[in-house]
Amino acid sequence: MKAIDQAAEERHRAKMANRKAVQDAEVGEKVLEKGLLMVHTGSGKGKSTAAFGLALRMLGTNRRVGVVQFIKGAWSTGEQPALALFGDRVVWHTMGEGFTWETQDLKRDIAAAEKAWAKVQELMADETIALLILDELNIALRYDYLDLETVIAQLKARRADLHVVVTGRNAKPALIEAADLVTEMTLVKHHFKAGVKAQAGIEF
């Protein structure tokens, strides 16, 4: 361990005490509690992964989580069997039929998205669910499978204590505007470029 002289230690202590005072004052000003609309978007990896991390955090507070997956459907993902271990505390619906370049059927994709949105409305009405993950909804909105204004209006009209996370690239500006929290995953480097294939436990 690097030697630290007494003067440096005192300066550090004073700096951290000042920072704590500022931080405590800022935290103390926040008194509002509400259900959040959160958006995870961007070209980088980790959008759905972060949402499922929130699911674990919510489950750790002994509350229920709902998941509706748009688009995805062809691949089995590791999160589903893991979260299934929580029994009826997790409600999971995979409503997609695969990525759009795989289905190549516009009418079928729109029908699947509409069916998924009907399930979302059903889960939003379930007062036992504290967090609802709408996985890849941004993709369905990007391709206009659902009416953007209707989706945003219904998300805004949800009950006051329901948290919702929307994932997927290319989030629409109107959804970003409506959200309480927006996180953009930025691609810096990806192993696909080096020829590494999608691997269980990492990509799915």
pLDDT of the chain, 204 residues: tens digit per residue: 677 788 878 888 888 888 888 887 877 776 789 999 999 999 999 999 999 999 999 999 999 999 999 986 656 778 999 999 999 999 999 987 655 555 567 888 899 999 999 999 999 999 999 999 999 999 999 999 999 999 999 999 999 999 999 999 999 999 999 999 999 999 999 898 889 898 888 887
Is 101 within the bounds of a domain?
A: yes
Is 13 within the bounds of a domain?
A: no
Is 18 within the bounds of a domain?
A: no
Is 134 within the bounds of a domain?
A: yes
Domain that holds residue 51: 34-194
> For residue 118, how far is the Cα from the chain centroid?
19
The whole-model pTM stands at 0.85
